[in-house]
């Protein structure tokens, strides 16, 4: 297998390219064309405020209407065992129980022990994105948690 190695450009062509490359910006400046130093200074952007928290959802109707949206949920932080019809427990851990009994999983499901001890049984406000149940026969949706705080405490 043979490879063709291109010959280096002739010195006079190399000199011409270098000269044109160095002179072009100088000529442009002499003609009064704008240069980088003529550009206005960038204006400082005002600090962006966080998006206002949406109105609180407290029942199943609000949850179903909010699937896929960023929402604020208000309910009780409760640890529960969820079992199938045969009594087999397939989930044990904290969930959000709304006033009408609607349950929501937290994502991520593994919660910090200190969080559980602090919030267990208390009214909380959860900010996050609602996800529908994984299957139509499954009745528990979930919320991808941004923050959990005690309700009424800012």
For residue range 108-154, what is the model confidence (pLDDT) as tens digits? 989 999 999 999 999 999 999 999 988 777 778 999 999 999 998 75
- In whole angstroms, give the CA distance from residue 121 to residue 95: 10
pTM exceeds 0.75: no
> Domain map of the chain by residue range?
56-150
Pick the CATH number of 56-150 from 3.40.50, 3.90.25, 2.40.50, 2.60.40: 2.40.50
Residue 25 in this model has a pLDDT that exceeds 60: no
CA 51 to CA 72: how far, in whole Å?
A: 12
């Amino acid at each position: 297998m043979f490879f063709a190695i291109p010959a280096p450009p002739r010195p006079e062509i190399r000199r011409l390219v270098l000269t044109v490359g160095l002179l072009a910006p100088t000529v442009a400046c002499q003609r009064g064309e704008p240069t980088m130093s003529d550009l206005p200074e960038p204006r400082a952007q005002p600090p962006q405020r966080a998006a206002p928290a949406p109105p609180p959802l407290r029942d199943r109707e609000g949850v179903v209407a909010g699937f896929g949206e960023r929402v604020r949920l208000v309910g009780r932080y409760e640890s529960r065992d969820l079992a199938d019809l045969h009594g087999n427990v397939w989930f044990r851990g904290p969930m959000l129980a709304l006033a009408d009994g609607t349950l929501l999983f937290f994502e991520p499901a593994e919660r910090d022990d200190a969080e559980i001890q602090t919030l267990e049984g208390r009214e909380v406000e959860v900010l996050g994105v609602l996800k529908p149940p994984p299957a139509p026969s499954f009745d528990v949706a979930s919320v991808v948690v941004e923050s959990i705080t005690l309700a009424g405490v800012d």
